[in-house]
Structure 1
Amino acid sequence: MAATKIGDVRAKSADELSTMLLDLRKEQFNLRFQRATGQLEALSRIKQVRRDIARVKTIIGERARASAPQA
């Protein structure tokens, strides 16, 4: 599975982003578990998932700041 493009993330709705974030966190947990038990073959996938999580959280944060009232 390739890394997520930022344009693809921006095109998603808030519900889709939260679902995507949940799925990525589950995948991250499973990858860490596989790594600890010595079953992980693609170590680079951990880095990809971590960056995908950061991308999703960045877009969620941008949207929250954009919708917040200006003080």
Structure 2
Amino acid sequence: TIVFTDDKAGNQYTVSDVKLIPTWRGQEYQATSVKATVKNGVATVTLIFPHITQFYNPKVTLRINGKKTKFKVCQ
């Protein structure tokens, strides 16, 4: 599970095409659940993925309001 906030969300915040990429294997894992809520212009997003026992320096790719985005996950 990964939770992040975005304090520049505005009124509309759509998250789609969410994938976790554990770089040690090169595979991609589609999110099993994506939940985004916006309150006072701040979005809180919860991403749930299948259980992975080993990973190193993972990244997440996703689209926010249609724009492709990538970020590293802090372990």
Q: What TM-score do the two structures reach when normalised by structure 1?
A: 0.22
User: Highest CA radius of gyration, 1 or 2?
Assistant: 1
Q: What TM-score do the two structures reach when normalised by structure 2?
A: 0.22
Q: Relative CO higher for 1 or 2, CA cutoff 8 Å, sep ≥ 6?
A: 1
